[in-house]
């Protein structure tokens, strides 16, 4: 990078916060899956004002900017290319909880705040922020917004888009759009924050946000439920929704083999009993504010009578609940211990999932008789982690393109999504550009040009390279 | 309009559905508040394909297009100007429920479907569509989406934006963007439907939608609660949310005078008892799927101990509940019977509402000692119908600009919204353009130009006239 740009950046944020030393910059320039690496000057602004100055310099000099918060994306969305031309804009110093408003049930935060620290801060005020996922000890709010993060509480509370009431964004030219109103209703023109949420850093830099808070849930009922076949999963979901409504907070589908593998590979994780009598299992959870809500036991008894349920373990204590969730959350680790697999993160209309799973697995077995799928996911959201491995695992990775092609073909045929919650970034860009409706891609590109006319925001991610 | 354009339109949709006769066109060209009138050729397509043909003709000939569904907007959003140059595109013939998917809890509808007919169709399948407001017997889904409609169930279920999973939109050049995926999670690029929802017909024509469905709620508890002062309203809301969580479905703030006026003016509406002991009242409702949920009576007893509640009438039956809601819903009619008032539809952070009401009413009284405000609204959403009348009512209307200026100044000072749910249209366009952040307006205009480069979509509404 031009030394004049570097000295302007140092003037903008202070020379301590412009990192050109390769050794010191390295942690910012490799993603945590170790698949993506790049080169860039790392700039660490401490305020919106400083982000604004950095963007004005980038705009003026047509320097690409890659925004980065926690860096826990699985798709290489916050890693620059290896040209060394880009600014890696790290938001991590902007990590404050600015205001918790219990009357409005909102919190105003800076983009670099770590998700787990937000959880703690609002819990001290008797409030609950529901976004939750494995990487919450590292992931930051700005990135969670930029990727519209999902996680385990989407069924009840929605994803990051649903949890955000206002944003402050620094535009590509350095001007600051402050729309931190924190209103639940506001029909004054286009809802601009919706554009930036989920745009993967390609339209501007999110610097602050107003987020919704909720009361801390009290009652909690959890069960691990064996079902006779895949069709029963959708019938049971329907039944639980009708009986429990918004108290339903978790409904995870798990292939029997995944549970057995957890028990085999991770001796610390205990099963509540044998699971070999059912091919598929459901981890269901209700939670409510009321002392007495719907009874999960009674709902399951009715489902048993109707033949939708063949076996069920009900948690008798909070520690039982946690043990059941530990089984679900340990599946990736158990899979990794036998050689890992190709991760897919697809979504479909819930009603199509049983048929999708049967047809796609059958097609894959016909092409690759040696494969070893690991199937589980958030059935209540229509989101399946359709992971395909093999033993030994190299067979699956050597056939990555063919396996993904068959999987995505079946997803697209059913109007599904090839990325339910992880985003596109670098990893899925080729498939995304090939499979997405060309008219939708054209409109995305028009919006990108309207907001980022010089094309400096996170190039090489999500959208195609501009041809001008 | 040029006769060649008219004959092309007749070819596109059939000559029966192109109305040039002024008498026959009139019902489409006056809004139901009788405040806005215009002139246009009325075109009534019967399919997406026909909408596409009409838009292609409009694009080719640079003819303005004003989309219209139920025509129940309060702000003149679907009425053309009086130049006679425009096409009034009425969606009313496209009124089908295409598919109810109980497994996915979604319904696919055409844009001209009347809201009340949607309610009935999904109830027959054991499902509930929560959007509900006074005009639901005329309002159509396309308009409800284009204006991001709100209503009485927003607190629990969100507004139209939250209820929509997919859209089909005919773009200004006639191409059809079909994004009817019905997925609850989909992070593949910008969420384009968010742009069209709430854009008031300025970006494209919504022709079909996939909407979320819910189980039909069972238990219902309603109370009319007297509070000692405005501050108690926010404390009580906080308490009910903590105790009942998502079971809280209604929390309406009502000035005592509004209730008394209903009783005086509308002899058919009965009060459950005297209301003169409290200056403000809350209509609170819980509903749940479970047989036993949170107890509203127990929550109110605790609030009484804490001094947040001074009196309360608990509904003892479904007909009591309905009688309580009838009081709330009769306020506009009672106001109208004493001469009506200037309607304002503002929103603020909930925590700011008590102070906003006190300060703004005081300022207004200082300027206009004769005024007679009628204050009520969806406190749980931060949305107040801040209506200002006078007796006789002409005094308020003669001072419209001054009254609105003071009101909006106080709203904007607190980062609130001058249109919580009714939109901008023609009525509020001047205030909107004067008060909205110029940078946000600039981005809206850039988006408008990116999607509608020829500026043919609903000109004269929402955004400023283009200067080119």
- Is pLDDT at B203 greater than 70 in this prediction? yes
**Model pLDDT for residues B315-358, shown as the tens digit of each residue:** 999 899 999 999 998 998 899 888 878 889 999 999 899 999 99
pLDDT of residue B33: 75
| Positive/negative CA dihedral, B324, B329, B335, B337 | negative
Residue A309 lies in a domain: yes
Instruction: Decide if A104 and B383 are in contact by the 8 Å CB cutoff.
Output: no
> Can you tell me the distance from the alpha carbon of B34 to that of A30, in angstroms, rounded to the nearest whole number?
63
Tell me which residue in B102, B178, B420 faces A186 most closely, judged by beta carbons. Answer: B420
A441 vs B contacts (CB less than 8 Å):
189
Q: Are residues B132 and B238 in the same domain?
A: no
pLDDT of residue A246: 84
Q: Are residues B183 and B269 in the same domain?
A: no
- Is pLDDT at B289 greater than 80 in this prediction? no
The residue among A333, A354, A370 that closes a domain is A333
Read off the CATH number of the domain in which A366 is found: 3.30.70.2740
Q: What is the SS3 string spanning B240-275?
A: HHHHHHHHEEEEEEEEHHHHHHHHHHCCCCCCCCCC
Residue with the bigger pLDDT between B455 and A391: it is B455
Q: Are residues B225 and B367 in the same domain?
A: yes
Per cent of chain A over pLDDT 90 is 85
Quick check: A332 and A326 in contact, CB under 8 A?
Answer: no
Quick check: A135 and A31 in contact, CB under 8 A?
Answer: no
Q: Are residues A280 and A364 in the same domain?
A: no
B351 vs A contacts (CB less than 8 Å):
101-104
Establish, for the pair of chains A and B, how many residue pairs have beta carbons separated by less than 8 Å: 298
Residue A71 lies in a domain: no
**CA A254 to centroid of chain Cα atoms:** 19
**Model pLDDT for residues A358-375, shown as the tens digit of each residue:** 999 999 999 999 999 999
Q: Are residues A129 and A211 in the same domain?
A: yes
Best probe of the A interface among B290, B299, B450, by most A CBs < 10 A, is: B290
Tell me what the pLDDT averaged over chain B comes to. Answer: 94
Residue A77 lies in a domain: no
B243 interface with A at CB cutoff 8 Å: yes
Per cent of chain A over pLDDT 70 is 100
A438 interface with B at CB cutoff 8 Å: no
- Is pLDDT at A306 greater than 70 in this prediction? yes
Residue A5 lies in a domain: no
**Residue B222 β-bridge partners:** B285
Read off the CATH number of the domain in which B177 is found: 3.30.465.10
Instruction: Decide if B198 and A190 are in contact by the 8 Å CB cutoff.
Output: yes
pLDDT of residue A291: 67
B258-281 average pLDDT score: 96
A432 vs B contacts (CB less than 8 Å):
188-189
Q: Are residues A318 and A240 in the same domain?
A: yes
B194 interface with A at CB cutoff 8 Å: yes
Q: Which of residues 356-375 of B touch A (CB under 8 A)?
A: none
pLDDT of residue A386: 94
The residue among B162, B195, B215 that closes a domain is B215
Q: Which of residues 50-109 of A touch B (CB under 8 A)?
A: 101-106
A349 interface with B at CB cutoff 8 Å: yes
**Residue B177 β-bridge partners:** B169
pLDDT of residue B392: 86
Q: What is the SS3 string spanning B89-112?
A: EECCCCCCEEEEECCCCEEEEECC
B233-254 average pLDDT score: 92
Number of domains in chain A: 3
**CB atoms near residue B269 (< 10 Å):** 17
For the ranges A13-17, B32-36, B66-70, the lowest mean pLDDT is seen at B32-36
Residue A291 lies in a domain: yes
Tell me which residue in B198, B243, B290 faces A294 most closely, judged by beta carbons. Answer: B290
B245 interface with A at CB cutoff 8 Å: yes
Best probe of the B interface among A55, A196, A443, A447, by most B CBs < 10 A, is: A443
Residue with the bigger pLDDT between B288 and B180: it is B180
Detail the DSSP E strand segments found in B26-95: 40-43, 65-68, 86-90
> Can you tell me the distance from the alpha carbon of B37 to that of B81, in angstroms, rounded to the nearest whole number?
7
Q: Are residues A303 and A320 in the same domain?
A: yes
Tell me what the pLDDT averaged over chain A comes to. Answer: 94
Q: Are residues B211 and B239 in the same domain?
A: no
Instruction: Decide if A187 and B417 are in contact by the 8 Å CB cutoff.
Output: yes
Task: Say which residue the tokens 């009313």 belong to.
Answer: B92
B450 vs A contacts (CB less than 8 Å):
446-447, 449-450
Residue with the bigger pLDDT between B148 and A181: it is B148
Question: B375 falls in which pLDDT band (50, 70, 90)?
Answer: very high
- Is pLDDT at A96 greater than 70 in this prediction? yes
Radius of gyration of chain B (CA): 23
**CA B253 to centroid of chain Cα atoms:** 18
**Model pLDDT for residues A48-62, shown as the tens digit of each residue:** 999 999 999 999 999
The residue among B69, B90, B111 that closes a domain is B90
Residue B424 lies in a domain: no
Question: B468 falls in which pLDDT band (50, 70, 90)?
Answer: confident
Q: Are residues B67 and B173 in the same domain?
A: no
Quick check: B377 and B384 in contact, CB under 8 A?
Answer: yes
Q: Helix %, strand %, coil % for chain B, to 5?
A: 40, 25, 40
Per cent of chain B over pLDDT 70 is 100
B185 interface with A at CB cutoff 8 Å: yes
Residue with the bigger pLDDT between A237 and B292: it is A237
Q: Are residues B205 and B131 in the same domain?
A: yes
Residue A435 lies in a domain: no
Instruction: Decide if B417 and A450 are in contact by the 8 Å CB cutoff.
Output: no
B257-261 average pLDDT score: 96
Q: Are residues B192 and B232 in the same domain?
A: no
**Model pLDDT for residues A100-138, shown as the tens digit of each residue:** 999 899 999 999 999 999 999 999 999 999 998 878 999
Best probe of the B interface among A55, A161, A189, by most B CBs < 10 A, is: A189
Domain that holds residue A281: 219-333
Question: A288 falls in which pLDDT band (50, 70, 90)?
Answer: confident
**Model pLDDT for residues A188-236, shown as the tens digit of each residue:** 999 999 999 999 999 999 999 999 999 888 888 999 999 999 999 999 9
A464 interface with B at CB cutoff 8 Å: no
Q: Are residues B309 and B391 in the same domain?
A: yes
A350 vs B contacts (CB less than 8 Å):
103-105, 184
Residue B418 lies in a domain: no
pLDDT of residue A293: 75
Read off the CATH number of the domain in which B359 is found: 3.30.70.2190
Tell me which residue in A238, A420, A449 faces B103 most closely, judged by beta carbons. Answer: A238
- Is pLDDT at B402 greater than 70 in this prediction? yes
Question: B291 falls in which pLDDT band (50, 70, 90)?
Answer: low
A148 vs B contacts (CB less than 8 Å):
187, 191
pLDDT of residue A72: 87
B449 vs A contacts (CB less than 8 Å):
450
A34-45 average pLDDT score: 94
- Is pLDDT at B64 greater than 70 in this prediction? yes
């Amino acid at each position: 990078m031009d030394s004049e740009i570097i000295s302007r950046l140092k003037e903008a944020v202070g020379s301590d916060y412009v990192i050109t030393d390769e050794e010191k910059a390295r942690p910012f320039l490799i993603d945590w899956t170790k698949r993506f690496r790049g080169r860039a000057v790392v700039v660490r602004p401490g305020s919106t004002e400083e982000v604004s100055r950095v963007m004005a310099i980038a705009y003026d000099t047509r320097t690409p900017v890659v925004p980065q918060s926690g860096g826990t994306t699985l798709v290489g969305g916050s890693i620059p290319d290896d040209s060394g031309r880009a600014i890696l804009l790290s938001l991590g110093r902007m990590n404050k909880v600015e205001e918790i408003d219990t009357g409005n049930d909102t919190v105003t935060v800076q983009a670099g705040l770590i998700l787990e620290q937000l959880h703690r801060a609002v819990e001290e005020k008797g409030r609950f922020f529901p976004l939750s996922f494995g990487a919450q000890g590292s992931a930051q709010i700005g990135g969670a917004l930029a990727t519209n993060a999902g996680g385990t509480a989407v069924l009840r509370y929605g994803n990051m888009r649903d949890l955000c009431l206002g944003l402050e964004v620094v535009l590509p030219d350095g001007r600051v759009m402050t729309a931190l109103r924190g209103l639940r209703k506001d029909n004054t023109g286009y809802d601009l924050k919706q554009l930036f949420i989920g745009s993967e850093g390609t339209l501007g830099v999110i610097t602050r946000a107003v987020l919704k808070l909720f009361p801390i849930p009290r009652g909690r009922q959890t069960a691990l439920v064996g079902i006779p076949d895949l069709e029963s999963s959708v019938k049971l979901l329907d039944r639980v929704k009708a009986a429990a409504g918004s108290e339903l907070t978790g409904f995870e589908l798990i292939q029997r083999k995944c549970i057995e593998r957890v028990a085999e590979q991770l001796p610390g994780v205990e099963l509540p009993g044998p699971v070999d009598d059912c091919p598929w299992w459901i981890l269901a959870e209700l939670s409510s504010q009321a002392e007495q809500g719907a009874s999960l036991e009674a709902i399951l008894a009715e489902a048993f009578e109707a033949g939708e349920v063949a076996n069920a373990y009900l948690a008798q204590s909070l520690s039982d609940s946690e043990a059941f969730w530990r089984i679900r959350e340990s599946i990736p680790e158990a899979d990794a211990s036998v050689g890992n697999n190709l991760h897919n993160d697809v979504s479909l209309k819930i009603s199509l999932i049983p048929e999708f799973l049967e047809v796609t697995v059958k097609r894959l077995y016909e092409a690759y008789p040696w494969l070893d799928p690991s199937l589980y996911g958030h059935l209540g959201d229509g989101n399946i982690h359709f992971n395909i491995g093999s033993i030994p695992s190299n067979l699956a990775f050597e056939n990555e393109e063919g396996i993904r092609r068959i999987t995505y073909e079946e997803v697209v045929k059913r109007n599904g999504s090839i990325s339910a919650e992880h985003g596109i970034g670098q990893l899925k860009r080729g498939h995304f550009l090939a499979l997405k409706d060309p008219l939708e891609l054209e409109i995305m590109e028009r919006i990108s040009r309207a907001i980022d006319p010089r094309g400096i925001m996170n190039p090489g991610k999500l959208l195609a390279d501009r041809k001008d």
